[in-house]
């Protein structure tokens, strides 16, 4: 998964290629790029590797930066060899017609995606700066969430929930994953974390 969920960390195409080149040719490597749009580095996608390595599959979803969660639509890029096998097992009509129309419209609306990605990058930088200021340990994120360490993580999550913010617990003891929100939400979150930490 690149960027990874829940850490938000990112591997370069070079590192992924280095890995794939050492994997036996009859072993399939899936690269899940659900969060790839949020990466601030240029040339982040491993898509081109599918031309060189028939055993690599790159998967994408419209559920994240494109805002179509619950439409159940995404796509994957892979070699003809893999396509023949996928064709045998995929369900008929696996992407319904409404989802297809939504995905096509979303794909054409790159301005929306650009705005989402830009806002996310700004707010992610802001939230990371806040965590640094507070001495809260976190991974450097290239996604739309930040994974951070907090003593009493579950109690903090409860406090945030009672104030209207649901964040992800239970991934690792004393670690939480928070989604990067709007500027207003992030300001509220920062205020709430400060109050709770007192």
Ligand X SMILES: *Cc1c(COP(=O)(O)O)cnc(C)c1O
Using CB under 6 A as the criterion, which residues of the chain lie in contact with ligand X when the complex forms?
Answer: 1, 5, 32, 34, 61, 63-64, 69, 74
CB of 5 to ligand X, least distance (A): 4
User: Quick one: 61 or 120, whose CB is closer to ligand X?
Assistant: 61
User: Quick one: 123 or 179, whose CB is closer to ligand X?
Assistant: 179
What is the CB-side half-sphere exposure of residue 7 using CA atoms within 13 A?
9
Beta bridge partners of 179: 145
User: Quick one: 66 or 130, whose CB is closer to ligand X?
Assistant: 66
CA separation for the pair 145, 98 (Å, rounded):
29
CA separation for the pair 144, 16 (Å, rounded):
21
User: Quick one: 36 or 49, whose CB is closer to ligand X?
Assistant: 36
User: Which residues, other chains included, contact 140 with Cβ-Cβ below 8 Å and sequence gap of 6+?
Assistant: 8, 9, 128
User: Quick one: 77 or 193, whose CB is closer to ligand X?
Assistant: 77
CB of 198 to ligand X, least distance (A): 33
CB of 151 to ligand X, least distance (A): 27
* Burial degree of 43 (CB within 10 A; 0-12, 13-18, 19+): exposed
CB of 68 to ligand X, least distance (A): 8
CB of 162 to ligand X, least distance (A): 26
The answer to whether the CB of 56 falls within 8 A of the CB of 23 is: no
Q: What is the dihedral of CA 165, 171, 174, 179, to 10 degrees?
A: -30
């Amino acid at each position: 998964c690149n960027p990874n969920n829940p850490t938000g960390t990112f591997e370069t195409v070079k590192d992924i290629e280095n890995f794939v080149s050492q994997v036996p040719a009859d072993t399939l490597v899936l690269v899940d790029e659900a969060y790839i749009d949020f990466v601030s580095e240029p040339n982040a996608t491993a898509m081109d590797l599918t031309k060189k390595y028939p055993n690599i599959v790159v998967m994408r979803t419209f559920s994240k930066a494109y805002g179509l969660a619950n439409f159940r639509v995404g796509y994957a890029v892979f070699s003809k060899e893999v396509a023949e096998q996928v064709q045998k097992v995929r369900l008929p009509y696996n992407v319904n017609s409404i989802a297809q129309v939504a995905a096509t419209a979303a794909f054409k609306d790159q301005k929306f995606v650009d705005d989402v990605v830009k806002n996310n990058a700004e707010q992610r930088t802001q939230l990371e700066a806040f965590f640094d200021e507070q001495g809260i340990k976190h991974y450097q994120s290239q996604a739309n969430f930040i994974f951070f360490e907090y003593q009493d993580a579950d109690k903090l999550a409860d406090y945030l929930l009672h104030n209207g913010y649901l964040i992800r617990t239970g991934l690792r003891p004393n670690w939480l994953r928070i989604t990067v929100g709007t500027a207003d939400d992030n300001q509220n979150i920062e205020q709430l974390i400060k109050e709770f930490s007192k």
